[in-house]
Structure 1
Amino acid sequence: MADDIHANESYYLRLVVDRVPTMLAYWDTNLICRFANRAYETWFGANPDHLLGTSIRDLLGPELFAMNEPHMRRVLAGDRQVFERIVPGPDGMQRHSLAEYLPDVVDGTVRGFLVQVTNVTELKETQAALRRENHLRIQLEQNALSLQALAQERSDMIDVLAHEVRQPLSNASAALQSAQGALRARGDEFGTEQVVRAQEVLGEVLSSLDNTLAVASLLARPDPIHRDDADIATLVAVVIADMPSSERNRILVQRMTPTRTALMDMSLMRLALRNVLSNALKYSPQGSDVLVRITDSDEPPALVIEVSDAGAGISPDLLPRLFNRGARDGERSDAAGLGLGLYIVAKVMSMHGGGTELVNTGPEGTTIRLVITQTDHKE
């Protein structure tokens, strides 16, 4: 059995050498081929049997030979050579190669050199792809920094707008309220009515401004909201106080839970509940009641606030996009504003990990439910 293995040694050796994709060859000091494997057929279209006894110059051609000749001279001087080269093939393919020339030294004399050439085209393509990816990553990081700077600039402008525009409007609202009291004390019903109307218009302007600023702020917010343990009664009282004074007596509050506090971002919840309550007052008959019902749930733990009105209901065409940005009821002549109110409500509730639901709507009124989850939530 051992004799059979030794007898076939040359066969197996040749089989292995011819099956590897790497070019393997031996060239003597005169640059004449003494051995070549089958890979030369793939790379150069040359039959290795016909290469024996031929010059490497004939194989490579004048241009490639001129580039490689310095390495041949150095390896024949006894120095191992490793270098990269693009090798054009007969099929037109440009192969990136890693070439290694190893000197054959016997008793201090170089008799020739061994050649090993490996196709590294896929490696080069991968490296190029990684460089492109890295370049894109750097560009994305730079763009992110630019967007962050723009967002900060926008945030600063929003702060300026909030202060420079809203403050005078708030002052005007306070002045109108004082004027209303003075006119009522003098018995001037007509003047009082006009001031009340002016207050309502100013309130709508302030509401639109608040919603516009809120949308800009929410869209630019990079971090999750911070929730504190807030007093529920205070939230409801503050929101009712935000309503026009002539409308507050229409609001009925029904508490169906002993829970006194809940985790929330107070300023955002004030904005959300104010938008829902304002819509309920606006789109229901004058003098009709608007009910704010406060309950809770166990699964999941949540504070639930429902606002019910006695209006004519929401148009069926509006229902699919009720909580979308810019959604307005085109059939209603009193549908003023930018269509941001319920969009902000849905956004705020989502940031709280909860949700906004249309419980019912129809000729007998509409109920909208706000669910504020009380479990840990990260947006």
Structure 2
Amino acid sequence: MNDVSAPAFGPDPARALAASATALLETIDSAVTVWDGALRCLYVNASAARMLGCPAQELPGRPLAEVIGEERFRACEAERAAVLAGRTVEFESQVQGGDGLRTCRIRLLPRRHGDGRQDGFIALTDDVTEARELRESRARRHETELAIERSNDALRMLYEQTPAMLHSIDTEGRLLTVSDRWLACLGYGRDEVLGRASVDFMTPGSREAVLVEYLPRLWRAGRYDRLSLQMVRRDGTVIDVLLSSVVGRDPEGRPLRALSVIEDVTTLLDRAAQLRREQLARRELERQAAELARLASERREMLDLLAHEVRQPLNNASAAIESAGAMLADKGEQGASARLVRAQGVLSEVRRHVDNTLAVSTLLSGAPSPPEEEADIDTVLSVALAELPRAERARITITRDTAARSALMDSALVRLALRNLLGNAIRHTAPGTPVTVRISDSEAPLALFIDIIDEGGGLPPELLPRLFARGARVRHPDGRTSHGLGLFIAHRALEVQGGELRLLHSGADGTALRLVLPQGQAG
């Protein structure tokens, strides 16, 4: 070992003390190295020589970079600059020694002369590889224990807070754990149920089935699925459940416990029963609907027969009266002819009421159905006008704002609506007052419009809120009473084919009503 006490520790008066210090440094486990300001080695103790894997006598005078290697030399640049600036530095580093890479705690202290001048530094290095590994091992074990504890807590919390009815039992059938949902559903606290037999919370019938049949089978087979049972809540109410269980065993295969999942199917069974009742009720309604449809069909057949049996004599009588009136007029019997005209008007009114009555029966039972075929507009108008009294037809003027000659419509229903609206316009305006039928159309939405415009005194104000309601009766100034059937029929005749009847205007200068007949999609 080189004697470095003289250059390291001062002049001769301190030589003895330096020698003692050097001897002491040779006995400690810490590796001690001394470096001058030029970073040349001045001293290494035995521990440092062993750590560096080099004889101690070969190290003094060698540069630091050569002793520890260029890579470590550059890696410790910041710490080296700090100690050369007069600060004490402590850090950990990996040191390549004779027995491999070691983890070391290094402390750098400024090296000073007696007069306070700094010249290099002293490095104290302790191998903490085993200590660190032990510390890390203990920390890892502690963290593992904490993780296991946290995992157990999390599993227990997950089990208890799972939104399902769960319980586990031991081989005696006593409750070991229950979930919060189990407690909430049955109305108990956890301390009230743990340790008790699981069958204590079942109806007598379910309890007997579990004890006699299902528990023995569970321990033998290891599981059962969706067992139908009944459990009793704390308040005494009974719930229907499906219970599925699986057995947990020890390494030797002996049963330890059984984990059960319970599904409350009370509401499901109630709904199933309600569904069965509703299905029965629906079948009964369908039967009644079929019976009503049969009766409605019979009624329509009777109405069609009645329409033929009533209309035919009325038409024959009307034709006979019209022919007789014409003959009397030719012979100059004006008085008799006038009476026949009045008689024909009465027959027309009777026929109108019969048609409206039959139409109401048909329209009320009919479901909306858009027309599929087009009808000739002029033909429909001509038929409707022909049903008006001959003397009144001259009052009707037809104007066109469209070139359309045909349109989608149910021609019979449109004819019925036109006849009622034109008849109303004639009856409720002064004799000879013109009535205009205006035909127009629109592109958005695509529709045909037929407007009925009169020049009467307008509709009674009290009628407007219920204009198209069935039976909207109103008394006119002349003492006559309207029964509201004509407007209702016209409105319904448009409605069942997807159209509508609108009031455009009503006032002292007259009334305007519009038939709207949709024509499908534009373009």
Structure 1 residues 79 and 153: CA distance shift in structure 2, 3 A: farther
1:29-68 alpha-carbon deviations (Å, 9 max, x no partner) = xx3527333556553737568743x655666586652242
Larger Rg: 2
Matched, 1:326 2:432: no
* % identical equivalent positions: 35
Q: Structure 1: how far apart are the matches of 2:406 and 2:151? A: 87
Name the aligned partner's letter for residue 337 of structure 2.
T
- Matching residue of 2:457: 312
Q: Secondary structure at the match of 1:258?
A: coil
- Matching residue of 2:154: 12
**Partner residue of 2:409 out of 264, 280, 304:** 264
- Matching residue of 1:33: 174
- Matching residue of 2:232: 88
- Matching residue of 1:342: 487
Q: Secondary structure at the match of 1:317?
A: helix
Matched, 1:45 2:188: yes
Give the stretch that moved more between structures: 88-97 or 292-301. Answer: 292-301
Name the aligned partner's letter for residue 14 of structure 1.
R
Name the aligned partner's letter for residue 272 of structure 1.
A
Q: CA deviation at 1:267?
A: 1.3
Q: Structure 2: how far apart are the matches of 1:50 and 1:269? A: 78
- Matching residue of 2:166: 23
Show structure 2 runs of 5+ residues with no match. Answer: 1-142
Q: Secondary structure at the match of 2:234?
A: coil
Structure 1 residues 88 and 59: CA distance shift in structure 2, 3 A: closer
Name the aligned partner's letter for residue 251 of structure 1.
I
Does the aligned pair in 1 maintain the 2:447–2:517 contact within 8 Å? yes
Count of residues paired in the alignment: 374
Q: Secondary structure at the match of 1:84?
A: strand
Q: CA deviation at 1:103?
A: 5.1
Q: Highest relative contact order (Cα 8 Å, sep 6+), 1 or 2?
A: 1
- After TM superposition, the structure 1 = structure 2 runs for residues 187-336 of structure 1, keeping only pairs within 5 Å, are 187-222=332-367, 224-333=369-478, 335=480
Name the aligned partner's letter for residue 229 of structure 1.
E
Give the stretch that moved more between structures: 131-140 or 208-217. Answer: 131-140
- Matching residue of 1:78: 221
Does the aligned pair in 2 maintain the 1:36–1:48 contact within 8 Å? no
Name the aligned partner's letter for residue 116 of structure 1.
S
Q: Secondary structure at the match of 1:247?
A: helix
Show structure 1 runs of 5+ residues with no match. Answer: none
Give the stretch that moved more between structures: 151-160 or 116-125. Answer: 116-125
Structure 1 residues 345 and 357: CA distance shift in structure 2, 3 A: same
Q: Structure 2: how far apart are the matches of 1:321 and 1:349? A: 17
Q: Structure 1: how far apart are the matches of 2:187 and 2:205? A: 14
Q: Structure 2: how far apart are the matches of 1:64 and 1:23? A: 18
- Matching residue of 2:306: 161
Q: CA deviation at 1:113?
A: 5.9
Q: CA deviation at 1:75?
A: 2.9
Does the aligned pair in 1 maintain the 2:380–2:415 contact within 8 Å? yes
- Matching residue of 2:326: 181
TM-score, length-scaled by structure 1: 0.83
1:78-110 alpha-carbon deviations (Å, 9 max, x no partner) = 374441112111133422221234456779987
Q: Structure 2: how far apart are the matches of 1:361 and 1:9? A: 83
Structure 1 residues 88 and 56: CA distance shift in structure 2, 3 A: closer
Structure 1 residues 131 and 169: CA distance shift in structure 2, 3 A: same
Name the aligned partner's letter for residue 24 of structure 1.
H
Does the aligned pair in 2 maintain the 1:26–1:113 contact within 8 Å? yes
Structure 1 residues 163 and 336: CA distance shift in structure 2, 3 A: farther
Name the aligned partner's letter for residue 114 of structure 1.
A
The alignment's C-alpha RMSD in Å is 3.3
Does the aligned pair in 2 maintain the 1:78–1:105 contact within 8 Å? no
1:274-310 alpha-carbon deviations (Å, 9 max, x no partner) = 1111111111122333233333444434333333333
- Matching residue of 2:292: 147
- Matching residue of 2:242: 98
Structure 1 residues 261 and 131: CA distance shift in structure 2, 3 A: same
Q: Secondary structure at the match of 2:461?
A: coil
Q: Structure 1: how far apart are the matches of 2:320 and 2:377? A: 30
1:162-198 alpha-carbon deviations (Å, 9 max, x no partner) = 1222222222222222222232233322322222111
Give the stretch that moved more between structures: 109-118 or 242-251. Answer: 109-118
Does the aligned pair in 1 maintain the 2:247–2:259 contact within 8 Å? no
Does the aligned pair in 1 maintain the 2:201–2:232 contact within 8 Å? no
Q: Secondary structure at the match of 2:382?
A: helix
1:8-44 alpha-carbon deviations (Å, 9 max, x no partner) = 444333333333342322232xx35273335565537
Q: Structure 2: how far apart are the matches of 1:176 and 1:168? A: 12
Q: Structure 1: how far apart are the matches of 2:203 and 2:498? A: 71
Q: Structure 1: how far apart are the matches of 2:489 and 2:189? A: 73
Q: Secondary structure at the match of 1:372?
A: strand
